[in-house]
Amino acid sequence: MITPIGYDINEICSAVKGSWICKAKSYPLKSLSLDSRKIIHPANTIFWAIKTNQRDASKFISPLYKKGVRNFVTQSKVKANQFPGANIILVADTIDALQMLAAYHRKKHNRTHVIGITGSNGKTVVKDWLHLLLSRNFEVMKSPKSFNSQIGVALSILQIRPQHQFAIIEAGISRPGEMEKLEKMIRPDSGIFTNIGVAHDEGFKNEEQKINEKLTLFKRSTSLVYPGEQQQITKALKNKVFKNIKIFNWAKEPGNLLKIKSIRRSGSHSNISVQVHAHTFSFSIPFTDKGSIQNAINCFAELIATGTFKKDMLPSFRFLYPVSMRLEMKPGQHGCIIINDSYSNDLQSLSIALGFLKQQLKSQHTVILSDILESGLKDPELYNAVASLLREFGVDQLIGIGKNISASKALFSEISKKEFFPDTASFLSHLPQATFNNEAILVKGARKFLFEKISSALEAQVHQTVLSMNLSNLAHNINVYKSLLKPGVKIMAMVKAFAYGSGSNEIASLLQFTGVDHLAVAYVDEGVALRQSGITLPIMVMNSEADSFEQMIKNKLEPEIFSFKILSEFSSFLSRHHILAYPIHVKLDTGMHRLGFEEKDINELTGILKRNKNIRVRSVFSHLSSADDDSAQKFTLSQFNTFKKLVSKIKDSLKYQFDTHISNTSAISRHPQFNLEMVRLGIGMYGIDSNTKIKSRLRVVNQLKTTISQIKELKAGETVGYGRTSVLKKDSIIATVGIGYADGYSRILGNGKGKMLINGQLVSTVGNICMDMTMLDVTKLKSVKEGDEVTVFGNDPSIEKVAEWAETIPYEILSGISQRVKRVYFEE
């Protein structure tokens, strides 16, 4: 996990009240890392050597120093003389120090409204839903996935940036005393207590102690939302002296600030009516289970409590999806649906998952359930409760896996079909005899039971074409380019066209974490999608049009201004909306002759830019037409010189700072003198560079794979495919694979021009490429069978090779992979 940070070492040292083991140069740092393996930009990273009872990360200081890291925090007395030029801060406790830095950061960002969430269940769902609801109108950050503990909360807080109007932070505790520490960092302005669960956690004496502890989070908050039916919370609140807190409890019963007038389930939806003072609001959610209803009302109440509620938010409730419950639903074999819940395994989450199972319109509902660990209940009590839940939700079949649930089998007498197995392996070995048919199957197990093996065994083996992205290699490639840049040169990552076909949101999130400075997209829509997925980096939009200005500004996107027409349209839009100094990027045409102001326009342009108070030039840039072509060196150089000349005219006239940039990938690797203040990195991120020396340092990111659907043995003289273009010269074995021109596999690659890799050997296409399929000649392969994996591109054949066969460039191959091809991402 890499955390962006903007402090220099002196500020960090005083924030954590540390002392110096050694001290050298101080400069603003870009990221903070706790993981020695994941350091992207050593010189700008501070490594926080966390020490716990199990391990002391200070042993990584020396190897990291060798890799170029110069800033450390530790609680072990390392020897200063071994680390010349390094800044090493000594603290009493590295975790406390991290929390002090987070608290410092929170104080600095006290204009951000922080929403703190705690409770036994639903924290993450409420966080994700609120984020979704608020992001329409505000700049909102939320803590990452399960970052709710002592270290996770600190790292989350450090992600707050000045532009965030809201930060939603989840707090989880398991022991007394922990919330006090979390509260110091989070200091929520408003709070949500989602609910209090039935099971009591190991670390607490009783429920009362647990509630009191959790309420500590809200001692300085000005509002608190909670379900009023949970009277234990009301009771605990009576004994607290929270001075300024306003309570937003909700329930059907009177005495609550929000009155639930009705909850009506219809089909797969629930319609909820809530009265707030004199007004009644109704909304519908795509769930019928109690947990989801509670989560949705908690979100609604928080919108009221923070004064952010607007009537036009109500329709959004319809689109609250169960993504964040990690309830994954996939097609299974024999017409089954597999619901996979790897979220948690306790009674509360079981009842949510059962509610979801029940919604599935299948004739039989089956549950595969492991032992429930750490419930705090004795076994008979626990499995009695499980049995009554299964009964309540009409489960037809139970498969219990684990020693404890097996020992309690007598308690499940009311379920007609049931089987028990001591462990996952013995169930899997029994699986070939088991028959599941057209049923909904909930697979729910504690982590150590490895139930993912069960779900993958039950899932339908869909033979699909998959484009996979190796994010670790992408990060590596960015590092290679960073190492080519002079310190301080900024990177604008080009993520237009769905990040060259690789998936904008996923790639942009990685880029945000690895620390690029700017993003660029082709259209406003692409930028809006990035904002909605939580990207906060500045984003330039290359093709701005007048009808998208409103979206542009709402989403803090920065237009490329390339003509007088767009300049005057945009500035009059700004002036109508009384917006001053809005950042723009001015595009100059120095020879590409696509978009941009030309030399003859410069005097008029500088005149307008200078007078216009509505805009502020953030950068001036141009694009090279032939940076990858050595034979065009002279032209490239003349483009650069023209650019410098025009820039200096604009600089003279504007009298304020802006960045300039002209380099794309090829220029970074071939013309280091063109770096200027910023570069625009595109295809190089995906391991493609025309400079072979740089190329050899890059790693492959994208792999496109498919599978063999059928194999046929054909006689000499027969033909293959549409139009009978390929006549077989000899008896042949032909494999049909699941990719065609509708997936982005060009028709040019047919009739032997293209090759794919099967079991380590390249084989050629036969006949014309079809819309969804391609035929390959596999006669020469020793072993090949239906279902075998086929590499369309990756290490071999490379994208460059496929581009060559298809008489095009790698850019077109990558960005041409159609959206119906499934994208998967992995890290190594």
Which amino acid, residue 531? R
Sign of the Cα pseudo-torsion (103, 109, 113, 117, in order): negative
Short-list 376, 398, 377, 375, CA closest to 387: 398
Are the C-beta atoms of 156 and 232 separated by less than 8 Å?
no
User: Which one of the spans 342-350, 370-378, 505-513, 664-672 is the region binding ligand PLP (CB under 6 A)?
Assistant: 664-672
Indicate which single residue of 665, 726, 736, 774 sits in contact with ligand PLP (rule: CB under 6 A). 665
How far is residue 149's CA from residue 659's CA, in Å, rounded to a whole number?
A: 40
The gap from C-alpha 528 to its chain's centroid, in whole angstroms, comes to 15
User: Which one of the spans 355-363, 527-535, 608-616, 662-670 is the region binding ligand PLP (CB under 6 A)?
Assistant: 662-670
Helix (H), strand (E) counts: the chain? 26, 39
Residue 170 or 628 with smaller CB distance to ligand PLP: 628
How far is residue 316's CA from residue 40's CA, in Å, rounded to a whole number?
A: 38
Q: What is the DSSP code (8-state) at residue 83?
A: S
The token duo for 349 is 């989450």
Indicate which single residue of 69, 102, 372, 683 sits in contact with ligand PLP (rule: CB under 6 A). 683
Q: Residue 337 Cβ, how far from ligand PLP at the closest point, in Å?
A: 42
| Count of residues of this chain found to bind ligand PLP when the rule CB under 6 A is applied | 11
Are the C-beta atoms of 147 and 100 separated by less than 8 Å?
no
Q: Residue 680 Cβ, how far from ligand PLP at the closest point, in Å?
A: 4
Q: Does 670 interact with ligand PLP (rule: CB under 6 A)?
A: no
Residue 365 or 496 with smaller CB distance to ligand PLP: 496
Angle 168-172-175 (CA atoms, 0-180°, nearest 5)? 150
Q: Does 797 interact with ligand PLP (rule: CB under 6 A)?
A: no
The token duo for 48 is 């926080």
Among 127, 214, 444, 496, the one annotated catalytic: 496
User: Which one of the spans 230-238, 305-313, 385-393, 659-667 is the region binding ligand PLP (CB under 6 A)?
Assistant: 659-667
Residue nearest to ligand PLP (CB): 682
Checking DSSP bridges between strand 364-370 and strand 466-470, what pairing results, if any? unpaired
Cβ contacts of 696 within 8 Å, gap of 6 or more: none
> Residues 16 to 35: which contact ligand PLP by CB under 6 A?
none
Q: Does 171 interact with ligand PLP (rule: CB under 6 A)?
A: no
How far is residue 603's CA from residue 131's CA, in Å, rounded to a whole number?
A: 47
User: Which one of the spans 359-367, 473-481, 682-690, 816-824 is the region binding ligand PLP (CB under 6 A)?
Assistant: 682-690
Q: Residue 358 Cβ, how far from ligand PLP at the closest point, in Å?
A: 50
Residue 444 or 661 with smaller CB distance to ligand PLP: 661
Residue 9 or 683 with smaller CB distance to ligand PLP: 683
The token duo for 776 is 């390959």
The token duo for 150 is 């002592």
**Which residue's entry shows tokens 């342009």?**
605
3-state secondary structure of 190: strand
Q: Residue 801 Cβ, how far from ligand PLP at the closest point, in Å?
A: 18
Q: Residue 499 Cβ, how far from ligand PLP at the closest point, in Å?
A: 11
Give the other-Cβ count within 10 Å of 795's Cβ.
Answer: 10
How far is residue 43's CA from residue 31's CA, in Å, rounded to a whole number?
A: 10
User: Which one of the spans 446-454, 523-531, 680-688, 802-810 is the region binding ligand PLP (CB under 6 A)?
Assistant: 680-688
Residue 213 or 589 with smaller CB distance to ligand PLP: 589
Are the C-beta atoms of 350 and 386 separated by less than 8 Å?
yes
CA-to-CA separations, 707 to 110, 464, 607, 774, 791, in angstroms, rounded = 54, 7, 61, 11, 8
Binding track, positions 387-426, relative to ligand PLP; x by CB under 6 A: ----------------------------------------
Residue 188, preceding peptide bond in cis (omega within 30° of 0):
no
User: Which one of the spans 252-260, 470-478, 525-533, 674-682 is the region binding ligand PLP (CB under 6 A)?
Assistant: 674-682
Short-list 128, 255, 253, CA closest to 194: 128
How far is residue 319's CA from residue 135's CA, in Å, rounded to a whole number?
A: 14
Q: Does 682 interact with ligand PLP (rule: CB under 6 A)?
A: yes
3-state secondary structure of 762: strand
Among 722, 780, 785, 822, the one annotated catalytic: 722
Radius of gyration of the CA atoms of the chain, in A: 30
Residue 301 or 617 with smaller CB distance to ligand PLP: 617
Q: Does 664 interact with ligand PLP (rule: CB under 6 A)?
A: yes
How far is residue 643's CA from residue 648's CA, in Å, rounded to a whole number?
A: 9
Binding track, positions 623-642, relative to ligand PLP; x by CB under 6 A: x-------------------
Q: Residue 815 Cβ, how far from ligand PLP at the closest point, in Å?
A: 10
Q: Residue 674 Cβ, how far from ligand PLP at the closest point, in Å?
A: 12
Are the C-beta atoms of 591 and 641 separated by less than 8 Å?
no
| First-last CA distance in the chain | 13
How far is residue 535's CA from residue 504's CA, in Å, rounded to a whole number?
A: 10
Residue 341 or 560 with smaller CB distance to ligand PLP: 560
Residue 681 or 770 with smaller CB distance to ligand PLP: 681
> Residues 274 to 303: which contact ligand PLP by CB under 6 A?
none
Residue 260 or 510 with smaller CB distance to ligand PLP: 510
- Check if 496 is active-site: yes
**Which residue's entry shows tokens 């100094």?**
581
Q: Residue 705 Cβ, how far from ligand PLP at the closest point, in Å?
A: 24
Binding track, positions 473-512, relative to ligand PLP; x by CB under 6 A: ---------------------x-x----------------
Backbone angles phi, psi at 442, to 5 degrees: -95, 125
- Check if 722 is active-site: yes
Binding track, positions 684-723, relative to ligand PLP; x by CB under 6 A: x---------------------------------------
Q: Residue 64 Cβ, how far from ligand PLP at the closest point, in Å?
A: 30
Look at phi and psi of residue 755 and say left if phi exceeds 0, alpha if psi is from -120 to 50, else beta. Answer: beta
Residue 797, preceding peptide bond in cis (omega within 30° of 0):
yes
The token duo for 517 is 């400075």
Residue 349 or 691 with smaller CB distance to ligand PLP: 691
**Which residue's entry shows tokens 């801060």?**
89
Checking DSSP bridges between strand 702-714 and strand 466-470, what pairing results, if any? antiparallel
Residue 396 or 629 with smaller CB distance to ligand PLP: 629
Q: Residue 667 Cβ, how far from ligand PLP at the closest point, in Å?
A: 8
Short-list 131, 120, 178, CA closest to 153: 178
How far is residue 455's CA from residue 644's CA, in Å, rounded to a whole number?
A: 60
The token duo for 320 is 């609250």
Indicate which single residue of 259, 680, 705, 755 sits in contact with ligand PLP (rule: CB under 6 A). 680
Residue 274 or 668 with smaller CB distance to ligand PLP: 668
Residue 295 or 702 with smaller CB distance to ligand PLP: 702
Are the C-beta atoms of 709 and 463 separated by less than 8 Å?
yes
User: Which one of the spans 227-235, 305-313, 677-685, 697-705 is the region binding ligand PLP (CB under 6 A)?
Assistant: 677-685
- Residues interacting with ligand PLP, by CB under 6 A? 494, 496, 623, 664-666, 680-684
Residues noted as catalytic = 496, 722
